[in-house]
Each structure stands twice: as structure tokens, then as C-alpha cells.
Amino acid sequence: MEGILASAPVVFIIIFLVTWSAVKLLSGLAFKGGKQAAGTSTPYACGEDTYSPMPHPDYSNFFQFAFFFTIAHVATLILTTVPVHSAGTIVTALIYVEGVIVGLGILLKK
């Protein structure tokens, strides 16, 4: 009997049933969401509406450069680990290089 209770499926079922029953018993105490008041998602500080004349830097313009260097470095890592035992691996590596060049070209066009 001790071996059966220690098996993974039985332990999973026991924990599942304990958790499920706890959720059912305690769900009456949970907060019930309703309508949100107007202005709850706007910035507010010390009784005044806030505005910020300072610029907020946005790094989304740099994403394409980071993506470019990530693709270039991963391609370099993969190409340096290609074994040169047969012509088939060299052809596969050249096809991969062409795919990387096409992908980077598409990235730079956008």
C-alpha cells in the first residue's frame, strides 16, 4: 500500500483533488469583479492629474538592429560548427547562408 501511494499518478490525483476542493471551498471569499470606475487607468498623483513634459525614451526603434545582430551571431555560430566531411554539408551550409542573407535583407527593407 505504501508503494502505491508514493507513485506519481496517485500523488498527482491526491494533490489535484485537495487543490480542487480548496478552490471550491474558498471561491466564495474571492473578490467578484464588477464595473471599473472611470479614470482608474489614468495617471494620478496627490489629487492632481499628472502630465510629464519629459520625453520617455522608446527603444522599439532599436529592435531591428538587435534582431539583425542576433541573427548574424547565431548564423556565425552555426556555420562555424558545421563539419566539413562531405560536399553535402557544405551545400547545406551555403543554402543556410543564403537563407540568412535573404532574412537579413527582408529585415533591413522594413
In sequence order, what are the beta bridge partners of 55? none
pLDDT per position as a tens digit, 16-66: 999 999 999 998 888 777 777 776 777 666 666 666 677 767 777 788 888
The 10 Å CB-count burial string (b at 16+, else e) for 21-53 is: eeeeeeeeeeeeeeeeeeeeeeeeeeeeeeeee
Q: Is the pLDDT of residue 101 over 70?
A: yes
Q: How far apart are CA 75 and CA 101, in angstroms?
A: 10
pTM exceeds 0.75 for this model? no
Give the mean model confidence (pLDDT) for residues 84-89: 78
Instruction: Look at residue 62 in the predicted model and tell me its pLDDT.
Output: 82
| pLDDT of amino acid 16 | 95
Class of residue 12 by CB neighbours under 10 A (exposed 0-12, middle 13-18, buried 19+):
exposed
**Mean pLDDT of the 75-84 span:** 84
CA–CA dist 15, 17 (Å, integer): 5
